[in-house]
Amino acid sequence: MAEQIISREFKNRWINFYGKNVTERILRELEQSDPRIISPNALYTTRRQLQESLESQGFRFAPETPFNCLILEFEPFNIVATSEYLSGLFTIQALTSLIPPKCLNPSSESVVADLAASPGIKTCLLAEVMENTGTLFAIEKAKKRIPALKSNIARMGIYNTFILNCDARSFPGLNVKVDHIMLDAPCTGTGLKLKKNKRLERRILNDVTRQSLIQREILDEAWKQLKIDGTIVYSTCSLEPEEGEVQINNFLARHEKQVQVLPININIGNPGNLTRWTKVYDSQISNTRRIFPDQGMDGFFIALMKKVRE
Catalytic residues: 237
Whether residue 178 contacts residue 154, with contact meaning beta carbons closer than 8 Å, is answered with: no
Q: What are phi and psi of 211, to 5 degrees?
A: -70, -40
Q: Are 6 and 276 in contact (CB under 8 A)?
A: no
Residue 13 phi, psi (nearest 5): -70, -30
Q: How far apart are CA 8 and CA 14, in angstroms?
A: 10
CB 59 within 8 A of CB 29: no
The CA R_g of the chain, rounded to the nearest whole Å, is: 19
Alpha helices (H) along the chain: 2-5, 8-18, 20-30, 47-55, 83-86, 99-104, 121-129, 146-155, 205-225, 245-255
